[in-house]
């Protein structure tokens, strides 16, 4: 149950920089030195501001989660939930379910390879390229031309940057297109599973405890990065050798205490703290509830259409978990918006901003702002219908293959991003992943349900050709649409093997195929291009207008001696704070640490609170080993801190002032998860304690091979 939160005066009614607020780019940290010192940071700030020196150079991305090197032999620590699909699901079968058993490689020969496309990304360069991206563009450039020029400039920059197959370059957008940076990454293609605890440790508490505290989840796992003997990045091969990392984190067996300084280094995905008021208002009044409805139905569809016997339950385990995770998160945001009176406080701030605009903005700046707000309203009206458009993995993959063939008729430089030579490997790997994450019958059931919802939207919000092909405009029952879908799914191309066969066909060869799936994607192809162009034009204009809004917002903040920071966008960031408990309601205080004893107290013998006998015995006998923490009279399992994180930070290294790993960030508290929209001082990050990781490896697993490899600080 979510309780009405107290101390509303602590909300971010203004945009003052608070010590623990912000996902900062490393180069920005020197200007925050006084705040860092107040929080307890003792090292030189310059040591944090360089992406390519320790400890920042030890931090890596898994392409959706964060991680860190913890040995010179390419050993990587991240969250358990970050490796479920690519390692546990991929390597599990009816004979061996790694979710149930866990996995420990006691030698490197036993380490298990990742699903196709598993990668580790190491940032090796980052530079400002705003002028290059916006070359040839001014305020009067027509929107579609603007979109094309930016796209062409990005493609040129990326092509010049990617001088080998192991290098991947990305153009990152900051402040809604006000500035751009080029991120150059070393892409390691051979990643292997070293250790994952059984699910009763790695996801103890399941969805019941998700986003909750007190928490007792061992959300940790270990991977290893491999390269060729020549140190180049190569796909999986027995001849590959561990990647030699010059920068890695030592692991603290002392951990942290209440009040200690901590930092999180990672790759946060996205925050929404620079939204206009009408965007926030839409989400609170409509968006949150619609997302909850959509996700809840997705969970039910998977539950109703999968089972153990067919293997489909395992195949859709990851997708169901994703739906459940976002369902609970957005439910928490929905409640948090009410409890923290988000609309009331944001409206007051917005009105202050508009007063500033009226007095200080130029006529052109004011016009841009009004145009932006109108464009946002127009977009939001269509967004809900678009959520229900598609939802077929089979059709989407066939569309990508058909589009790929069409783009291949052009020179590489003229192809759309996603279909160039550099993208072919990624497309092939996406198809291969269907082997363990796709089932035609389940996919069809999900698509039909979403299609029926899509049919209920007014015609002007639906795609005409798509609707016509699926008989959505006809007034009779849904039977005719269902028969058409049955026909589409009778295709000869419903497996990864068959999809790979057509992936490299020419457009002419695809068009000659007499297959219902290919025929359908061919019929809706031109309409897809039309809508793509429509959205590109709108998004280009919106980005231009939003960047002007950001400039106005910065002027407003500067006028009262405040700063703004860029929303999270998948680039390496730093956030800092302190270990601290929290009181969110009268008479209740969440202590900063949970303990092993809490696991035993929660144990019921029924999932997700059913733990192994060996674990319970060790807790009962108080076999704490070297990881006893006097303050809690046990081994700490999880702890909370004032760190500011979001999605993508999962697996991020939580470190102390000595740059030692003291935990892995993995979750937030549902009561304050609305902090993705506006920073909440009461928000807390949940990290799994380094002492629990070490205790598990030592006392539970007797994993001497791993303990001998890492550097433990006692």
Please name which of 43, 53, 16, 45 lies closest in space to residue 29, comparing C-alpha atoms: 45
CA 375 to chain centre: 27
Element (H, E) at 184: strand 179-188
User: Helix, strand or coil for residue 637?
Assistant: strand
Q: Please list, in sequence order, all residues whose beta carbon lies within 8 angstroms of the beta carbon of residue 375, skipping any fewer than 6 positions away.
A: 538, 541, 542, 545
Between CA 467 and CA 383 the distance in angstroms is: 17
Partners of 225 in beta bridges: 191
Residues 6+ apart with CB under 8 A from 584: 3, 5, 6, 590, 669, 671, 672, 682
Which residue among the candidates 219, 515, 644, 667 is catalytic per the annotation? 219
CA 318 to chain centre: 14
* C-alpha closest to that of 641 among 618, 617, 672: 672
Q: Write down the catalytic residue from 81, 291, 331, 689.
A: 81
Which residues, at least 6 apart from 179, have a Cβ–Cβ distance to it below 8 Å? 128, 130, 173
- DSSP string over 519-586: HHHHHTHHHHHHHHHHHHHHHHHHHHHHHHHHHHHHHHHHHTT----PPP-SS-EEEEEEB--EEEET
Active site residue 81: yes
Alpha helices in 588-712 (DSSP H): 596-602, 613-620, 690-695, 704-709
Q: Please say whether the beta carbons of 123 and 184 come within 8 A.
A: yes
**Does residue 219 have an active-site annotation?**
yes
Select which of 71, 650, 687, 690 is catalytic: 650
Residue 303 phi, psi dihedral angles, 5° rounding: -60, -40
Q: Is 650 annotated in the active site?
A: yes
Give the orientation angle of helix 516-523 with respect to helix 525-559, to 10 degrees: 50
Catalytic residues: 81, 219, 650
């Amino acid at each position: 149950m979510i309780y009405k939160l107290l101390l509303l005066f602590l909300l971010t009614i203004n945009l003052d920089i608070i010590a623990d607020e912000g996902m900062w780019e490393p180069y920005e940290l020197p200007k925050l030195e006084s705040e860092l010192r107040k929080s307890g940071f003792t090292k030189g700030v310059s040591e944090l501001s360089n992406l390519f020196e320790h400890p920042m150079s030890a931090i890596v991305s898994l392409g959706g989660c964060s991680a860190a090197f913890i040995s010179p032999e390419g050993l990587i620590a991240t969250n358990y939930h970050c490796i479920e699909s690519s390692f546990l699901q991929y390597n599990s079968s009816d004979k061996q379910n790694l979710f149930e058993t866990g996995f420990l490689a006691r030698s490197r020969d036993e380490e298990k390879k990742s699903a196709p496309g598993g990668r580790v990304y190491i940032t090796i360069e980052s530079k400002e390229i705003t002028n290059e991206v916006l070359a040839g563009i001014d305020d009067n450039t027509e929107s579609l031309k603007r979109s094309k020029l930016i796209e062409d400039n990005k493609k040129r920059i990326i092509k010049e940057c990617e001088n080998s197959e192991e290098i991947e370059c990305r153009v990152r957008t900051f402040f809604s297109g006000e500035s751009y940076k080029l991120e150059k990454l070393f892409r390691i293609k051979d990643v292997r599973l070293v250790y994952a605890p059984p699910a009763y440790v790695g996801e103890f508490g399941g969805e019941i405890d998700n986003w909750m505290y007190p928490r007792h989840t061992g959300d940790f796992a270990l991977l290893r990065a491999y390269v060729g003997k020549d140190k180049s990045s190569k796909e999986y091969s027995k001849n590959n050798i561990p990647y030699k990392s010059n920068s890695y984190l030592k692991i603290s067996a002392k951990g942290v205490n209440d009040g200690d300084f901590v930092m999180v280094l990672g790759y946060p995905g996205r925050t929404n703290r620079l939204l206009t008021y009408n965007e926030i208002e839409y989400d609170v009044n409509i968006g949150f509830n619609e997302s909850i409805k959509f996700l809840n139905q997705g969970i039910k569809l998977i539950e109703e259409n999968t089972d153990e016997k067919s293997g489909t339950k395992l195949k859709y385990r990851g997708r169901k978990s994703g739906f459940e995770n976002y369902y609970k998160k957005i439910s928490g945001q929905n409640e948090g918006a009410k409890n923290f009176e988000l609309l009331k406080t944001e409206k007051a701030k917005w009105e202050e901003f508009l007063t500033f605009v009226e007095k200080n903005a130029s006529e052109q700046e004011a016009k841009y702002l009004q145009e932006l707000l109108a464009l946002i309203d127009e977009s939001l009206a269509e967004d809900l219908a678009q959520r229900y458009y598609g939802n077929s993995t089979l059709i989407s993959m066939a569309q990508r293959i058909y589009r790929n063939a069409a783009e291949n008729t052009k020179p590489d430089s003229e192809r759309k991003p996603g279909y160039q030579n550099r993208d072919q490997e990624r497309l092939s790997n996406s198809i291969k992943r269907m082997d363990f994450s796709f089932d035609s019958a389940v996919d069809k059931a999900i698509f039909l349900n979403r299609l029926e919802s899509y049919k209920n939207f007014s015609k002007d919000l639906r795609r005409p050709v798509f609707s016509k092909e699926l008989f959505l405009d006809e007034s009779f029952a849904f039977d005719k649409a269902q028969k058409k879908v049955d026909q589409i799914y009778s295709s000869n191309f419903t497996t990864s093997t068959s999809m790979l066969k057509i992936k490299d066909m020419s457009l002419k060869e695809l068009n000659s195929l007499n297959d219902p799936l290919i025929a359908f994607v061919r019929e809706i192809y031109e309409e897809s291009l039309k809508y793509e162009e429509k959205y590109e034009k709108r998004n280009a204009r919106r980005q231009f207008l939003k960047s002007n809004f950001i400039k106005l917002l910065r002027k407003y903040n500067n006028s009262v001696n405040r700063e703004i920071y860029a929303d999270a966008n998948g680039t390496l960031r730093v956030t800092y704070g302190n270990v601290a408990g929290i009181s969110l309601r009268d008479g209740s205080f969440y202590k900063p640490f949970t303990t092993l004893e809490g696991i035993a107290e929660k144990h019921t013998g029924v999932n997700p609170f059913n733990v192994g006998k060996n674990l319970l015995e060790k807790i009962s006998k108080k076999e704490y080993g070297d990881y006893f923490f006097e303050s809690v009279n046990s081994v700490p399992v999880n702890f909370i801190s004032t760190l500011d994180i979001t999605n993508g930070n999962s697996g991020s290294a939580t470190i102390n002032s000595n740059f030692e790993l003291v935990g892995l960030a993995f979750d937030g508290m549902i009561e304050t998860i609305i902090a993705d929209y506006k920073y909440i001082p009461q928000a807390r990050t949940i990290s799994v304690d380094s002492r629990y990781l070490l205790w598990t490896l030592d006392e539970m697993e007797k994993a001497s091979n791993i303990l001998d490899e890492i550097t433990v600080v006692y």
